[in-house]
Amino acid sequence: MSLLDTNLSAFDPVTDPDQAERYLTDWPRDARGRARAILRPRSVEEVAEIVRLSAAEGIPLVPQGGHTGLVEGAVPSPAGNEVVVSLERLNRIREVDPINFSMTVEAGCILANLQAVAAEHDRLFPLSLGAQGSCQIGGNVATNAGGINVLRYGMTRNLVLGIEAVLPDGQIWHGLRKLHKNNTGYDLKQLFIGSEGTLGIVTAVSLRLFPRPTQVETAFLAVSDPAAAVALYGQARRDLSDLLSAFEIIQHFGLELAQEATPDLRHPLETTSSHYVLMEASASGLVDLSGLMQRFLEGVMEAGHVLDGTVAANTAQARTLWRFREDLVEGQARRGRHLRTDVSVPISAISAFLAKVDAGLTAAEPSAIPVAYGHVGDGNLHYNVLPPPGMAEADKPAFLKRCETVIYGALAEFGGSISAEHGIGRAKLGSYLKGLAPAEKALSEGIKRQFDPQGLMSPGRLFER
Amino acid sequence: MSLLDTNLSAFDPVTDPDQAERYLTDWPRDARGRARAILRPRSVEEVAEIVRLSAAEGIPLVPQGGHTGLVEGAVPSPAGNEVVVSLERLNRIREVDPINFSMTVEAGCILANLQAVAAEHDRLFPLSLGAQGSCQIGGNVATNAGGINVLRYGMTRNLVLGIEAVLPDGQIWHGLRKLHKNNTGYDLKQLFIGSEGTLGIVTAVSLRLFPRPTQVETAFLAVSDPAAAVALYGQARRDLSDLLSAFEIIQHFGLELAQEATPDLRHPLETTSSHYVLMEASASGLVDLSGLMQRFLEGVMEAGHVLDGTVAANTAQARTLWRFREDLVEGQARRGRHLRTDVSVPISAISAFLAKVDAGLTAAEPSAIPVAYGHVGDGNLHYNVLPPPGMAEADKPAFLKRCETVIYGALAEFGGSISAEHGIGRAKLGSYLKGLAPAEKALSEGIKRQFDPQGLMSPGRLFER
């Protein structure tokens, strides 16, 4: 039995070229790879068997979830030497334990389905991001996904109680605990979370759940500048007492892009401003959230911290406000090739960082069109750049690379990160390695060598090979 | 220059035997060790110098914080071959950044001082535990300390943004980021958190802060049994919308022990019951917490979920209610040698686990006197045992060991842990290794070997050597 026998029906290989296509690209379609085979195991035992064969034959593997990654981590290498292991058939809910505020699910479960299952049990699984309709929880864990609720509930790392994974030697690691507290030895699951498939294949996870919010208040506010947004964030954290669940900043141009994608979106305020805040608070049970939000907004309006604002009167209005944030991504995409970044700085440095990048781009690339938005509470900014209209396609890659250099260059002064939530994959490998301290490089390489001495698990991601 | 030259004034050695005593024991005084030298470096560079000398000479080191550990992790070995490295002189607050909700502090800072510094900046550092007046943050991080606020704010792991540490080869790892989101490669700090000094010496940490609560509501409630306490917890999480900050269960006998330690403590309720819940909700800003707690309690009283209850009318009354929880520990200690455990099970298994242990002890050791209390929201129970009055001192160790076997034996069925928050150290090493899965043992040993090939960092903790 060999992994290269594509008729190997035990692992449900994809052999039809049309069907294969979606396993060779990710959602952004920036890169297309080739694969030696595409396998779709149906159980952890089948995954283990594939890994054992891979180890015996020296064939590199790349595990794959919902194809929604943004850094080419799960796209097979263009060299065509990798076998894709899709986890999509491992999609059982193994257990929901609402009393323990936990559920245990397989890697291939789609995030939106998990949110729905939690809600059926009057619980919340708080991970929430644009790709939730197709991303899979195994990929979320492997990349330590972030999203819009991180300021309240943390990254995926904070939501994982236990992990089942196949190690690179084919052993199954049964680490599926569902304990909220367990302080016995090295917390090995932390290594798998965010390891981007380089240490093994996550096959199932136990997740933390929370009370299901029954009240949501959504506000859209105009502020004078990013500094005002940061000050407002601090006040919202305090006044709303940690019931704040999202706090996004959007530059005015972002609204225009959203309207390009969705022409019937009407500007929600009478005032236009350079920046807006989209914020959400949520609560369950007996809290009077509507009164709380009203008192908060009265206070900040009176104090002049916001210039104008509106609160959604119902769920439909809230959805519309969120469309400005969500549809600007589509509006960007319609403008063609552009630069997407995912940087983070301390919250206290957001304003200075944005000013520095604005000035740097104006000086170095005055024709660049910035689109800046992000999660204030996490210090996580998507400072993106569109090329000027009329630029030749052939010139865009070098232009966008120069813009990226300006943005990344500004990070150092603020102790920032080039990847707040998207990970490294293959797309950011060069920038990542350039900034990596020698001590961290040596420790990371040592861990990789120990787990995967043959270097067969997602090679070329996080490490040069 | 050698580490064994105790006149080495650069590292401020402790040479006076009386003064040395407190570095040779921990607070529970269950064990006393001996040390080759006791050093008190004043900077991370001095710590690095000590570690380099230790590596060159092959001398084992044991880092030490506030001597409040409960598993003999920081007590030097009785063999007397270890050099103690006290971090107490590294006690500077390097930075407080309230806008970023973070602060950066050295390992020797005392937890209560950090809480106070955060409060001065209108922020909360939520780690809170009995030993906070003397434990040091470096020890809290090295042991991933828990405490009473875990259900809302998480273990220490969840509060750490960055770490500075001296690696076993004497290199300083500058991992002191203060980013709330950073998804670049393996999250190495996770390895140090909870590693109990076995991978290096933590010298400074960046910590997450939260809005400072300005309202606290504390209630003491009688419930019929542990199942009622668990049901009440679920309802409190929902009704109070995650503003719940503590939820403790205490068996009736625990109240009597508290009264033995503090005779002027008067039972707060007119009803006595087998079990009580001590719960706390806290909020900042504009939330009407008092009204919220009142609505919650009216609901659960009407529904018959609690038998009786009282809410503290002021801070002094709240303090008194908490003394029942805190002073029972002292009451236990006054009864002499006893068994302390720190186990965890899923929240949904608390009631069944307690029933199983109660029955198991009644069958196997009918004279055992159980003292069970714990953190319901974490599934973390301190199921302790006192020997019967009159038992000879010489018989107690074997008796308590048999009781421990009953308690630990009951854990397996529920996927429980022998150490929810105290760690392993030397005291729990045997039980830990007995339950450790081969895959986890191999991975943990590999990590230890990679970081500390000479095995000089806290040997005999977490590993046999």
Nearest to A345 by CA among B418, B161, B463: B161
A437 burial type by CB count under 10 A (0-12 exposed, 13-18 middle, 19+ buried): exposed
Q: Residues A270-290: what's their mean pLDDT? A: 96
pLDDT of residue A31: 85
The CATH number for A26's domain is: 3.30.43.10
Backbone angles phi, psi at B222, to 5 degrees: -95, 130
Task: Decide if pLDDT at B245 tops 90.
Answer: yes
Task: Decide if pLDDT at B450 tops 80.
Answer: yes
The CATH number for B368's domain is: 3.30.70.2740
Q: How many residues does chain B have?
A: 465
The ipTM, to two decimals, is 0.96
The residue segments making up the domain with residue B408 are 343-414
Of A414, A429, A452, the position where a domain reaches its end is A414
pLDDT of residue B8: 64
Is residue B50 located within the same domain as residue B167? Answer: yes
B346–A179 CB contact, under 8 Å: yes
Q: Which of A180, A210, A243, A295 to mutate to test the interface with B (most CBs of B within 10 A)?
A: A180
Q: How far is C-alpha B370 from the geometric centre of its chain's CA atoms?
A: 21
DSSP conformational letter for A346: -
Whether A368 and A387 have beta carbons less than 8 Å apart is answered as: yes
Is residue B61 in a domain? yes
Residues with Cβ within 8 Å of A208's Cβ and at least 6 positions away in sequence, in order, are A101, A102, A158, A159, A160, A161, A180
Is residue A290 located within the same domain as residue A359? Answer: no
Is residue A374 in a domain? yes
B180–A237 CB contact, under 8 Å: no
Q: Which residues of A touch B418 (CB under 8 A)?
A: 184
Per-residue H/E/C for chain B: CCCCCCCCHHHCCCCCHHHHHHHCECCCCCCECCCCEEECCCCHHHHHHHHHHHHHHCCCEEEECCCCCCCCCCCCCCCCCCEEEECCCCCCEEEEEHHHCEEEEECCCEHHHHHHHHHHCCEECCCCCCCCCCCEHHHHHHCCCCCCCHHHHCCHHHHEEEEEEECCCCCEEEECCCCCCCCCCCCCHHHHCCCCCCCCEEEEEEEECEECCCEEEEEEEEECCHHHHHHHHHHHHHHCCCCEEEEEEEEHHHHHHHHHHCCCCCCCCCCCCCEEEEEEEEECCCCCHHHHHHHHHHHHHHCCCCCEEEECCCHHHHHHHHHHHHHHHHHHHHCCCCECCEEECCHHHHHHHHHHHHHHHHHHCCCCEEEEEEEHHHCEEEEEEECCCCCCHHHHHHHHHHHHHHHHHHHHHHCCECECCCCCCCCCHHHHHHHCCHHHHHHHHHHHHHHCCCCCECCCCCCCC
Confidence tier at A8 by pLDDT (50, 70, 90): low
Q: Residues A205-229: what's their mean pLDDT? A: 98
Residue with tokens 């225009």: A256
Is residue B107 located within the same domain as residue B90? Answer: yes
Q: Is A243 on the interface with B (CB under 8 A)?
A: yes
Whole-number mean pLDDT of chain A? 95
pLDDT of residue A212: 97
Instruction: Report pLDDT digits (tens) over B12-65.
Output: 899 899 999 999 988 777 789 999 999 999 999 999 999 999 999 999 999 999
Residue with tokens 């429980």: B416
- Residue A200: both structure tokens together: 């093994």
Which stretch of A6-20, A189-203, B344-358 has the lowest confidence by average pLDDT? A6-20
The neighbour count for residue B393, using CB atoms within 10 Å, is: 9
In order, the DSSP letters of A205-270 are EEEE-EEPP-EEEEEEEEESSHHHHHHHHHHHHHHTTT-EEEEEEEEHHHHHHHHHHSTT---S-S
Kindly state the percentage of chain A with pLDDT values over 70: 98
Kindly state the percentage of chain A with pLDDT values over 90: 94
Q: Which residues of A touch B184 (CB under 8 A)?
A: 417-419, 423-424, 432
pLDDT of residue A7: 53
Query: Which element (helix H / strand E) includes A7?
Result: none
Task: Decide if pLDDT at B455 tops 80.
Answer: yes
pLDDT of residue A242: 87
Distance (Å) from the C-alpha of residue A86 to the closest C-alpha of chain B?
22
Is residue A33 located within the same domain as residue A79? Answer: yes
Is residue B167 located within the same domain as residue B314? Answer: no
A100–B450 CB contact, under 8 Å: no
Task: Decide if pLDDT at B298 tops 80.
Answer: yes
Count of A-B CB contacts under 8 Å? 294
Q: Which residues of B touch A286 (CB under 8 A)?
A: 239-241, 292, 295-296, 299
Q: Which residues of B touch A418 (CB under 8 A)?
A: 184
Distance (Å) of CA A38 to CA A85, A107, A170, B338: 6, 17, 18, 59
- Residue B395: both structure tokens together: 């018989």
The neighbour count for residue A96, using CB atoms within 10 Å, is: 18
Q: How far apart are CA B226 and CA B238, in angstroms?
A: 19
Is residue A321 located within the same domain as residue A270? Answer: yes
Q: Which residues of A touch B450 (CB under 8 A)?
A: 443, 446-447, 450
In this complex, which of B101, B177, B194 lies closest to A415 when CB atoms are compared?
B177
Is residue A337 in a domain? no
pLDDT of residue A189: 98
User: Hey, is A444 helix, strand or coil?
Assistant: helix
- Residue A444: both structure tokens together: 């990371």
Q: Is A187 on the interface with B (CB under 8 A)?
A: yes
Task: Decide if pLDDT at B237 tops 90.
Answer: yes
Q: Residues A209-220: what's their mean pLDDT? A: 97
Distance (Å) from the C-alpha of residue B178 to the closest C-alpha of chain A?
6
Q: Is B121 on the interface with A (CB under 8 A)?
A: no
Q: Residues B69-95: what's their mean pLDDT? A: 96
Nearest to B321 by CA among B270, B384, B370, B258: B258
Is residue B147 in a domain? yes
Is residue B120 in a domain? yes
Residue with tokens 């699951």: A189
First-to-last alpha carbon distance for chain A, in angstroms, is: 27
Q: Is B450 on the interface with A (CB under 8 A)?
A: yes
In chain B, which among 248-277 make CB contacts under 8 A with chain A? none
pLDDT of residue A429: 97
- Residue B265: both structure tokens together: 């403590």
The residues with which A244 forms a beta bridge, in sequence order, are A281
pLDDT of residue B92: 98
Is residue B188 located within the same domain as residue B231? Answer: no
In order, the DSSP letters of A368-391 are -EEEEEEEGGGTEEEEEEEPPTT-
pLDDT of residue B143: 97
Is residue A99 located within the same domain as residue A177? Answer: yes
Looking at the 3D structure of chain B, how many domains does it have?
Answer: 3
Nearest to A320 by CA among A376, A258, A389, A276: A258
pLDDT of residue A444: 98
Is residue A145 located within the same domain as residue A196? Answer: yes
Is residue A232 in a domain? yes
Confidence tier at B1 by pLDDT (50, 70, 90): low
In chain B, which among 9-28 make CB contacts under 8 A with chain A? none
Task: Decide if pLDDT at A95 tops 80.
Answer: yes
B420–A183 CB contact, under 8 Å: yes
pLDDT of residue B12: 87
Q: Please calculate the CA angle A306-A307-A311 and round it to the nearest 5 degrees.
A: 70
Q: Residues B298-306: what's their mean pLDDT? A: 94
Q: Which residues of A touch B451 (CB under 8 A)?
A: 443, 446
Whether A88 and A11 have beta carbons less than 8 Å apart is answered as: no
Confidence tier at A76 by pLDDT (50, 70, 90): very high
Kindly state the percentage of chain B with pLDDT values over 90: 94
Q: Residues A387-404: what's their mean pLDDT? A: 97
Is residue B206 in a domain? yes
Is residue B32 located within the same domain as residue B166? Answer: yes
- Residue A147: both structure tokens together: 């999203």
Is residue A52 located within the same domain as residue A111? Answer: no
User: Hey, is A61 helix, strand or coil?
Assistant: strand
Task: Decide if pLDDT at A29 tops 80.
Answer: no
- Pick A28 or A65 by higher pLDDT: A65
Of B174, B193, B212, the position where a domain reaches its end is B212
Task: Decide if pLDDT at A170 tops 90.
Answer: yes
The residues with which B339 forms a beta bridge, in sequence order, are B385
B240–A375 CB contact, under 8 Å: no
Q: How far apart are CA B72 and CA A461, in angstroms?
A: 41
pLDDT of residue A1: 64
Q: How far is C-alpha B127 from the geometric centre of its chain's CA atoms?
A: 10
Q: How far apart are CA B344 and CA A161, in angstroms?
A: 13
Whether B63 and B87 have beta carbons less than 8 Å apart is answered as: yes
Is residue A333 in a domain? no
Q: Is A74 on the interface with B (CB under 8 A)?
A: no
Of A183, A211, A239, the position where a domain reaches its end is A211
pLDDT of residue A26: 83
Is residue B55 located within the same domain as residue B196? Answer: yes
B185–A242 CB contact, under 8 Å: no
Q: How far apart are CA A143 and CA A135, in angstroms?
A: 11
Q: Is B413 on the interface with A (CB under 8 A)?
A: no
Q: Is A458 on the interface with B (CB under 8 A)?
A: no
Query: Which element (helix H / strand E) includes A279?
Result: strand A275-283
The CATH number for B320's domain is: 3.30.70.2190
The CATH number for B7's domain is: 3.30.465.10
A284–B424 CB contact, under 8 Å: no
Whether A299 and A239 have beta carbons less than 8 Å apart is answered as: yes
Confidence tier at A10 by pLDDT (50, 70, 90): confident
Residue with tokens 């190690």: A167
